[in-house]
Structure 1
Amino acid sequence: MKVIQAIRSALFYLLFIGQTAVVAIIVGTIALITGRTRLSWAMAVFWCRSNLVYLRVLAGVKTKVSGEENIPAGGCIIAAKHQSDWDVFAIFPHTGRPAYIVKKELMRIPFFGWAARSLDCIEVDRKKGAEAVPLMMAQAHAAIDRGCRIVIFPEGTRKAPLAPADYRQGVVRLYMELGVPVVPVALNSGLFWGRNSLVIWPGTAEARFLPAIEPGLAPDIFLERLKNAIESESDALILKAAEQGLARPIDAALQTRLDALKRQRSVTV
């Protein structure tokens, strides 16, 4: 089973990486000449949707996204759990005009960076720490003014399923600065496409947009509400998938976390 799934995964990566390079070259070239166009946007949407098709057909990963009715009209921040590359292109088509917060290093890649900038991506230089915040905020304000929705992964990096949460202050600063609602997004994608695994496992990766958190809360109250919403719903999605049966092997660390979650849920029910 693992050998077969490794072959299926390799075929997906081959198509995924090859198509990403082609799309980046085309959209990046367009960006250098004319900036953002309908064609570049259409190609970005195609890239997202086609990757989900390749995942389903080649690797057996189905996609389910729900809760779009919780995204308010107008500017907002979409704050998502981050467990897999799946998260990026599964969320993208449902966010209107998204402006992703991305690492500076990615924006420096030829063609890819040019394409990302033309698609409203916001650059953040993590090495500068607090010094990078004013530039990020300026870009975020400009994106909101253009009608974008800011998309951020509050933990800053991919996390293993049920790993301890580690929320950074970037999302709090955006919330306080922009004064717009924040939509939490829970997901379970790391069960199928893990951050440290080259093998992609069959199953249904699920993301859920949750009710928006209103602007104007104190920073600590906001962060606690955001964390509780994302973590509790992500835990629920993970537990549901585990109870339905996982094709992937479950290592000792994940099994321990699953057992602890089950005990916790049994006590609170």
Structure 2
Amino acid sequence: MTNTNKRLTFSEYIRSILSILVFFLMLLLATPVILLLLIISFGKLSNVVVEHIAPLIVKPVFWVAGIDFKIKMHCEEIHYPAVYIINHSSTLDILTILALGLPKVRFVAKWQLQYNPIFFLLGRLTGQVFIRREKSDKAVETLKRNVDRIKEKGLTVMLAPEGSRKHPGIIGPFKKGPFRMAMDLNYPIVPIYFEGNRELSEGGFLFTHSGKATAHIHEPIPTDDWNLENIDGKIEEIRSLYLSWAGVTEQENLNFIKSTP
């Protein structure tokens, strides 16, 4: 297990500060273009924004931060519509999620991101879903309200089953919300494992080490035979895959929790 407490070098601090400035500058420059596209298309170009413009926004950010980001396919093609799930342990995940450019995807994000006026405006106009993670009942209600819209438009959804990046262990406990949503939509689950994000990021802000990060897109997992009786077992099976991709056993994961101050 890689030590994530390694201090940033002076040059990495400088690069991180510059990359944060570049990120918000790119957002400021892109926002008028995105608004124009959405207005003239009556919102129909939302997919273009997510699939093509978002990756362009983060590309120079990676370059400034010294991050070599790759996408590795472990399946023949990207399956959609689907419920994509990711491991979430770093603020860097925001950038790698945007860099994926997945087809017709909508993100389920924490409510607090809307406190940033740019995220609020772009998120609402492109149909992203904001939930209050600390209030599980309201989060589930929000997801249920969006099921019909998502299915009607054939959209794909991306969620983090661990909920917050602040979770115990290298791979935290999985919440049921993403999996219940997949059942309600009758969508397959597509696991995406971010390798390197946790090791590169220092925590809650976009201060990162330089290095490599890889998004591993895996084979879709059908949910046709899922029901309320077997869903807990299905969730644990998928979580065990994430543990294996992280290179730890459940016991090692528990030991890591105990050793973390």
- Per the normalisation by structure 2, the TM-score is 0.76
Deviations 1:211-262 (A, max 9, x none): 22111222112201221122221337xxxxxxxxxxxxxxxxx9x85xx9xx
Cα distance, 1:63 vs structure 2: 0.6
Kept after mapping to 2: 8 A contact 1:101/1:124: yes
Matched, 1:86 2:98: no
Q: Kindly report the root-mean-square deviation, in angstroms, between the aligned alpha carbons of the 2 structures.
A: 3.2
Equivalent pairs, count:
239
Cα distance, 1:85 vs structure 2: 3.5
SS of 1:15's equivalent in the other structure is helix
Cα distance, 1:64 vs structure 2: 1.4
Q: Return the alpha-carbon distance in structure 1 between the equivalents of residues 218 and 244 of structure 2.
A: 11
Matched, 1:10 2:22: no
Q: After the TM superposition, which residues 73-112 of structure 1 pair with which residues of structure 2 at under 5 Å, given as runs? A: 73-92=79-98, 93-107=100-114, 109-112=116-119
In the other structure, the counterpart of 2:200 is 192
Paired residue for 1:133, among 110, 131, 140? 140
Q: Which consecutive unaligned segments of at least 5 residues does structure 2 have?
A: 1-7
Matched, 1:214 2:226: no
Equivalent AA in structure 2 for residue 122 of structure 1: V
In the other structure, the counterpart of 1:154 is 161
Kept after mapping to 2: 8 A contact 1:29/1:111: no
Q: After the TM superposition, which residues 1-269 of structure 1 pair with which residues of structure 2 at under 5 Å, given as runs? A: 2-24=9-31, 26-28=33-35, 31=38, 35-38=42-45, 41-42=48-49, 45-55=52-62, 57-67=63-73, 69=75, 73-92=79-98, 93-107=100-114, 109-159=116-166, 163-188=170-195, 189-196=197-204, 199-215=207-223, 216-217=225-226, 218-235=230-247, 257=256
Provide the identity percentage.
19
From the two aligned structures, give the one with the greater helix fraction.
Answer: 1
Cα distance, 1:182 vs structure 2: 0.1
Kept after mapping to 2: 8 A contact 1:59/1:200: yes
Change (3 A) 1:20 1:42: same
Cα distance, 1:13 vs structure 2: 1.1
Which gives a bigger RCO, structure 1 or 2 (Cα 8 Å, sep 6+)? 2
